[in-house]
Amino acid sequence: MNGNPSSRDSDATDPDWVDDFLFTGKPADVCLRLPDPVDRGTLHRLVTAAQTRLDAAGLRPGGAVALRLPPSLAYVVNLLATWRSGAQAILLDHRLTDHEVDRALRRLTPQVVVAPVRTGGGALRVFVEVTEGVTRYGDRPAPTDHAVIQLSSGSTGPAKVIGRNAADLVAEVRRYTQLDGVALPGERLILLPSMVHVLGLVGGLLYGLHAGVELVPPERLSGGAVLDAIGAADSPATVLGVPFHIGLLAATQSDRPLPMFTRMITGGELVSATTVRSFTERFGVPLGNMYGMTEVGVIGTDLHGQHRPGILPVPGIDVREVAGELWVSCPDSPYLGHTDPSRWSEGWLHTRDAGTVDPDSGLVTIHGRLDSQVSVGGMKVDLTEVEKTVAELPGVAAAVVVWDDGITAYVQPVGTLAEETLDQQLAERLASYKRPRTLRLLDQLPRTTTGKLVRSVETLRTAGTS
């Protein structure tokens, strides 16, 4: 145990779980610093007022609310208000295009959509100033009793729809409280990952609220702003981020002493030994590592950076290796609609991560993906979704999308197709982090003798430069 307060049991399927599990602590306790402090009493009042707005827009218990908001106080307030209304929250990354959002809304039929009417605060903000608008969308109840619905880039083209119920979220927060190396009550969490995705949502927002850890998003996304956030108070500070953020911090030149800087923890892809060395030499604090998935949340950790690249499964999670693939215990299928048995079966999530489990130490080592999913700044992107989108564009005869130090698309046009046109069409259909960094237009894509498209990066690179 790490010294976190023990929490009383809550009926996690009841809307009361928000008050019983997340709004523990005193009303004057600060839970967010934006940088002005927001205490629990204030947050509670804002949430209650938001419930009234959601109700007026047509939300009923058992309905769903789509939150299309960037990380912001408005997002936190409307998320908690949705849950306190006994409703389901559909989390839509604010970078998704109208095309992607429309498709999700038609499929998930929320009663209400919450989206920004106005945003402010300048560029590169980690937490955005948002004035939100609440709009009625439909009148159907949510098809499932999940508390949260998240979309994950899908291998069949459209996004996978993943649901988690309140009891599952509570159980994950409890797993965090049993870890040695997370921020403790009264300490601060400098939060860089988006609260719309699992690491920032559960490891940041929900854990912070439950455990009494202050959540501090830096004023903006820069190394200097992160250091400023760390140094803004004397209480111990843990930085939560993805590997990209390590580089931002390591590249800072400030020599200001930061004795309160306790640790940095990153999720997402593995970190190179060089990056680890440059970070630890620069700051002299541990660089921890976490492994998790949207479907189940945190799976394993190495918060002291002692087992790199290995991680130990967190309490309550079992990991096993089946024919080179890591399977993770997950009692119920997390997928809405039909569950592909190659993704989940009989209480096990098939991660599609290649990996090994050491039979003696239990350490899990991840070797890479077994499918076409890649990580872009901690965001999972399935290249199949990108390829399908490119191939379906007007004027495109065929397309192959591969990872070549970045998402790279090779496109065979039907006739004349300007790169600019292609760019513009993609910008309407794909969120920015999913779009190809490199586009190559070829008269003919390389094909095998039987006419199949060649996917070899080497062959495509040669074809693209010849």
Q: Which two tokens stand for residue 164?
A: 């988690």
Site for other proteins in 327-356 (CB under 8 A): none
CB of 411 to other proteins, least distance (A): 14
> How many residues are given for the chain?
466
Question: d(Cα 251, Cα 323) in Å, to the nearest integer?
Answer: 41
CA distances (Å), 391 to each of 405, 426, 449, in order?
Answer: 21, 11, 21
The enclosing H or E element of 291 equals: strand 287-293
CB of 241 to other proteins, least distance (A): 12
Site for other proteins in 194-213 (CB under 8 A): none
CB of 30 to other proteins, least distance (A): 27
The enclosing H or E element of 266 equals: strand 261-266
Among 34, 57, 221, 453, binds other proteins (CB under 8 A): 221
Tell whether residue 362 is a contact of other proteins (CB under 8 A): no
Tell whether residue 377 is a contact of other proteins (CB under 8 A): yes
Tell whether residue 71 is a contact of other proteins (CB under 8 A): no
Which CB, 315 or 377, lies closer to other proteins? 377
CB of 230 to other proteins, least distance (A): 16
Tell whether residue 281 is a contact of other proteins (CB under 8 A): no
* 404 φψ region: left (φ > 0), alpha (ψ -120 to 50), beta (else): beta
Among 63, 241, 313, 436, binds other proteins (CB under 8 A): 436
CB of 66 to other proteins, least distance (A): 22
Question: d(Cα 351, Cα 86) in Å, to the nearest integer?
Answer: 31
Neighbours of 315 (CB within 10 A): 11
Site for other proteins in 257-276 (CB under 8 A): 272
Q: Which stretch binds other proteins (CB under 8 A): 4-12, 139-147, 200-208, 405-413?
A: 405-413
Tell whether residue 231 is a contact of other proteins (CB under 8 A): no
Tell whether residue 403 is a contact of other proteins (CB under 8 A): no
Tell whether residue 248 is a contact of other proteins (CB under 8 A): yes
Tell whether residue 122 is a contact of other proteins (CB under 8 A): yes
The answer to whether 217 and 314 are in contact (CB under 8 A) is: no
CB of 406 to other proteins, least distance (A): 6
Cβ within 8 Å of residue 419, ≥6 positions away:
439, 441
The answer to whether 148 and 88 are in contact (CB under 8 A) is: yes
CB of 282 to other proteins, least distance (A): 14
Q: At what angle do helices 98-108 and 419-429 cross, to 10 degrees?
A: 30
Q: Which stretch binds other proteins (CB under 8 A): 30-38, 219-227, 362-370, 380-388?
A: 219-227
Tell whether residue 119 is a contact of other proteins (CB under 8 A): yes
Spell out a b/e string for 316-339, using b for 16 or more CB atoms within 10 Å of the CB, else e.
ebebebeeeebbbebeebbbbeee
The enclosing H or E element of 329 equals: strand 325-329
Footprint of other proteins (CB under 8 A)? 119, 122-124, 221-224, 244, 247-248, 251-253, 272, 376-377, 405-406, 408, 423, 432-433, 435-439
